[in-house]
Structure 1
Amino acid sequence: MPGGERPLQTGERISTLLDALGAGGAVARGRAEDLVRQVTDMYGSGLERILEILDREGKLDDGTLAALASDELVSGLLIIHGLHPESMETRVAGALDSVRPYLGSHGGDVELLDISPEGVVRLKLLGTCQGCPSSSVTLKFAVEEAIETAAPEVTAIEVVEAEKHAATPAFIPVDSLLVRMNHTDQPEGSWEPVPGVADLEPGDVAGFQVGGYSLLACRTGQDVYAYRDFCPRCESSMAGAILQRALAAPAGGGLLRCPTCRAHFDVRQAGSCLEDRSLHLDPLPLLIRGGVMSVAVPVAAGKGG
């Protein structure tokens, strides 16, 4: 797309232009909306015809379908016109798989309960991330973004906690965990590209500056984690930290050791400090957006905050 613009941004621009045209009166807006519908229908019919031709020529195999579905722009167009080869449930499940490493960094996981006919996705938080203060941020930056990209037709995300000690299921505050798509709230942060993170090898630790924000990233096996570059124990930078293998952990490491105070932080358990369980690193969500590894950077993050 022009300037690398994402489909969602283009949709927002179209909506803005329609609103501007609407200032000319109901007739002008009606004509503009009809024009958009006609153009959309034309492109939809063209896409459907392309798929039919590929299928007739025997070129619409699983590999071709997978390639089309993996492209963000093409996938979005196929969804709009009801031509996507994967169901909404399959796409939502895939989106959750993409954020599981980040959820795992909070010592938790997420389970897809169901999707209503109205497009409401119901999820359950599992593990030690239940009810933790960063749960709403996890949804805001990671889960919502992943689901919105994979399944823009989803209308809302509803999340409940797993049962605790066989008691009545507890619900995380509605304001935090009932996240509606197309919300108007100001974002709590921004997604910034950090392509170098994807190049990390198992056991690697590297520091990055993203929009003036310092972060530390590491890879354990296939999973990549990002944390704020700040040791909560000695209140120093983690620059120079090394990744050590925890007992019974898979090869590739699992404990980040602070180079200053030598405290150890478990990257798979929300950066929990082994020497002081009341302390932990600040995890940052990582997602592949538009084919580039990106990190969600908070709007304001003062040192030591």
Structure 2
Amino acid sequence: MAQTRNLRDSSTRIEQLLEELRATTDPATSAKVEDLVHLLVDVYGAGLRRIMETAFAEPNGAELLGRLAADELVASLLVLHDLHPHDTEARVLQALDKVSPYLGSHAGGVELLGIDDSGIVHLRLQGSCQGCPSSSVTVKLAIERAIEEAAPEITGIEVEGVTPPRTGTVISLDSLRRNGDAGTNGNGSAHAAAGAWITVDGLVGLAPGTLIATDVAGAAVVVCSSGGDLYAYGNRCPSCGFVWQEGSLDGKMLVCAGCGERYDVRQAGRSVRGQSLHLDPLPLLAEDGTVRIAVPGA
């Protein structure tokens, strides 16, 4: 996973360097540098194509190609050089499968309606995700990111059932410290990792009924364990501003000690009094022995 992210970071850095060269170097030199980059990409692409053709010619070639395509680092290179054995729709479906555990944990889902001729992916949110006040955060941090990583050739994503986000949904840790401490996990600053998936330590094997206050990239987050699943929310009661510390749930309910409001952690943090009042859910993925949480810019 880290290697794949590093590859994407390298690609972004190449684009940044080319932009800087265009701005500071004479046009002739800039054109030569860009030509050099394109030639290198072509050479490596041709070599990768030869490797794929040789592998496919083997008796177990189809199986081998499938294993290569399942590796995230290799898959990103295959997509870059238009060599991936799976078409765009298949890769989009695989991306949706990756985020389905998170959506399902909130009694929600997403349906692929199709990909139009202009390359726009059309989706529809289902279950509790549809019309949820935090659905735009779910789409941006979980669904869009997964699809764009699997199929960077798409030109856009349009989603039915998305509600515009509320402002200030995730509270920075510094603002909470003025009113009371939240737990600290030491996972970096919000400015450095805004919108990124952050690995959070100490959550694997969290006992059912437990809640933990922690810091994820500078954002105050409360993580709850209920029914064998983990749920992450912005650590502030939307009714009174209360900040949770470590403690326990009341069944599947996160109860505010400040005002007594009760929030269903298994239903996207909705208040038992009605859908208009709710916690701010954050995308959480538990896989391969790690837990990752995504937070928008705090």
* Contact map agreement 1:227 1:283 (CA 8 A) in 2: yes
How far apart are the structure 2 equivalents of 1:256 and 1:71? 39
How far apart are the structure 1 equivalents of 2:43 and 2:235? 50
How far apart are the structure 2 equivalents of 1:121 and 1:3? 27
Tell me the CA shift for residue 262 of structure 1.
6.4
Tell me the CA shift for residue 154 of structure 1.
1.2
Residues 74, 83 of structure 1: alpha-carbon distance in 2 compared, 3 angstrom cutoff: same
* Contact map agreement 2:209 2:250 (CA 8 A) in 1: no
Letter in 2 for 1:43: Y
**1:1-305 equivalent positions in 2, closer than 5 A:** 6-22=6-22, 23-58=24-59, 60=61, 62=63, 64-104=64-104, 108-161=108-161, 189-196=194-201, 199-200=204-205, 203=208, 205=210, 206-220=212-226, 223-233=229-239, 235-243=241-249, 254-258=252-256, 264-274=262-272, 278-287=276-285, 293-300=291-298
* Contact map agreement 2:52 2:65 (CA 8 A) in 1: no
How far apart are the structure 1 equivalents of 2:283 and 2:112? 19
Letter in 1 for 2:279: L
How far apart are the structure 1 equivalents of 2:275 and 2:136? 22
* Contact map agreement 1:197 1:217 (CA 8 A) in 2: no
* Contact map agreement 1:256 1:266 (CA 8 A) in 2: yes
Residues 230, 21 of structure 1: alpha-carbon distance in 2 compared, 3 angstrom cutoff: closer
* Contact map agreement 1:104 1:268 (CA 8 A) in 2: no
Tell me the CA shift for residue 244 of structure 1.
5.6
Tell me the CA shift for residue 67 of structure 1.
4.1
* Contact map agreement 1:216 1:228 (CA 8 A) in 2: yes
Deviations 1:179-204 (A, max 9, x none): xxxxxxx9994325234366235726
Letter in 2 for 1:194: T
Seq. identity, %: 43
Structure 1, unmatched stretches of 5+, are: 162-170, 174-185, 246-253, 301-305
How far apart are the structure 1 equivalents of 2:253 and 2:94? 28
* Contact map agreement 2:102 2:283 (CA 8 A) in 1: yes
How far apart are the structure 1 equivalents of 2:12 and 2:271? 43
Letter in 1 for 2:55: L
How far apart are the structure 2 equivalents of 1:111 and 1:123? 6
Q: TM-score, normalised by structure 1?
A: 0.72
How far apart are the structure 1 equivalents of 2:31 and 2:131? 47
How far apart are the structure 2 equivalents of 1:222 and 1:74? 33
How far apart are the structure 1 equivalents of 2:260 and 2:118? 52
Letter in 1 for 2:73: L
Residues 12, 292 of structure 1: alpha-carbon distance in 2 compared, 3 angstrom cutoff: farther
Residues 81, 198 of structure 1: alpha-carbon distance in 2 compared, 3 angstrom cutoff: farther
Structure 2, unmatched stretches of 5+, are: 165-190
Letter in 2 for 1:297: V
Letter in 2 for 1:209: D
* Contact map agreement 1:121 1:154 (CA 8 A) in 2: yes
Tell me the CA shift for residue 129 of structure 1.
3.6
Deviations 1:11-32 (A, max 9, x none): 2221222223334333223322
How far apart are the structure 2 equivalents of 1:28 and 1:78? 30
* Contact map agreement 1:72 1:290 (CA 8 A) in 2: no
